[in-house]
């Protein structure tokens, strides 16, 4: 209960959290250990969405938006007149959602092509998600917290990053040329796992160039908070 109370204390006070997770299931992201680590991160987002009685959408992707699979999409409502009473209902809701997500990832791994990765394009789905939630009578109600779990090695579209001579300068230039979604200014956008490949360890210079690309790209979305990290953070 203590952990759930801490999560409850982190919930937005005036808005409803909208958690969005997009998990890269291209060939470089299918290693067992890497999939388990990414799954742990998604479980943390499930927990936050449930405890905060928010919304959650999880997708898996590889080479494009069309090569993506929706894993989970739902809202959480916990019964109870007090915070403590509602928190007592949270574990059951979290467990059910986590099981659904895990089963969905197994199906997605079979359905999605292994070749190609488009983490840039998949951010459009985060923009569509928050636009849908905040339309109509719910305008401005939801607060987007989007997480793209990927090694960042974009191979599709106009910003192919799978070249080892990528530099921070060329990466920043590419990031300014690609299309970027427009996210609300109170949104948070995190790219986790950048440079963390299953098969090999890329050079530090290459990883720094990748991070430069995603930082520059994230700023262009208008999100108020941008995070680009190699390690998969499980903190909210």
Burial class (CB in 10 A: 0-12, 13-18, 19+), 46: buried
Q: How far is CA 127 from CA 47, 67, 135, 182, in A?
A: 22, 17, 12, 7
Q: How would residue 6 be classed by pLDDT, with cut points 50, 70 and 90?
A: very high
Look at residue 232 and give its three-state secondary structure.
Answer: coil
How many of the other CB atoms lie within 10 Å of CB of 133? 22
Give me the mean pLDDT over the 10-23 stretch. Answer: 96
Distance CA 97, CA 90 (A): 11
Separation of CA 65 from chain center: 14
Residue 24 has pLDDT above 50, yes or no: yes
Task: Quick: pLDDT tens for 131-164.
Answer: 999 998 778 899 999 999 999 999 987 788 998 8
Give me the mean pLDDT over the 207-231 stretch. Answer: 97
Distance CA 116, CA 120 (A): 12
Task: Quick: pLDDT tens for 58-111.
Answer: 999 998 888 899 999 999 999 988 889 999 999 999 999 999 999 999 899 888
Rg of the chain on CA atoms, in Å: 18
Q: How would residue 236 be classed by pLDDT, with cut points 50, 70 and 90?
A: very low
For domain 2-229, give the CATH number.
3.40.50.410
Average pLDDT, the chain: 92
Residue 10 has pLDDT above 80, yes or no: yes
């Amino acid at each position: 209960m203590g952990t759930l109370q801490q999560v409850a204390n982190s919930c937005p006070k005036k808005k409803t959290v909208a958690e969005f997770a997009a998990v890269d299931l291209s060939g470089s992201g299918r290693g067992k250990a890497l999939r388990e680590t990414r799954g742990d991160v998604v479980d943390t987002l499930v927990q936050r969405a449930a405890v905060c009685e928010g919304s959650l959408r999880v997708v898996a992707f590889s080479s494009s938006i069309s090569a993506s699979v929706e894993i989970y999409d739902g809202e959480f409502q916990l019964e109870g007149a007090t915070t403590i009473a509602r928190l007592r209902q949270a574990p059951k809701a979290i467990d059910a959602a986590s099981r659904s997500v895990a089963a969905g990832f197994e199906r997605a791994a079979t359905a999605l092509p292994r070749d190609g990765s488009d983490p840039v394009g998949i951010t459009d789905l985060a923009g569509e998600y928050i636009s849908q939630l905040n339309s109509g009578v719910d305008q401005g109600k939801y607060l987007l917290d989007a997480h793209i779990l990927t090694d960042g090695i974009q191979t599709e579209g106009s910003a192919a990053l799978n070249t080892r001579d990528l530099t921070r300068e060329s990466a920043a230039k590419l990031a300014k040329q690609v299309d970027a979604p427009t996210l609300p200014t109170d949104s948070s956008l995190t790219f986790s796992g950048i440079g963390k490949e299953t098969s090999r360890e890329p050079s530090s210079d290459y990883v720094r160039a990748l991070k430069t690309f995603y930082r520059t790209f994230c700023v262009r979305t208008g999100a108020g908070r941008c995070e680009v990290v190699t390690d998969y953070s499980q903190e909210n």
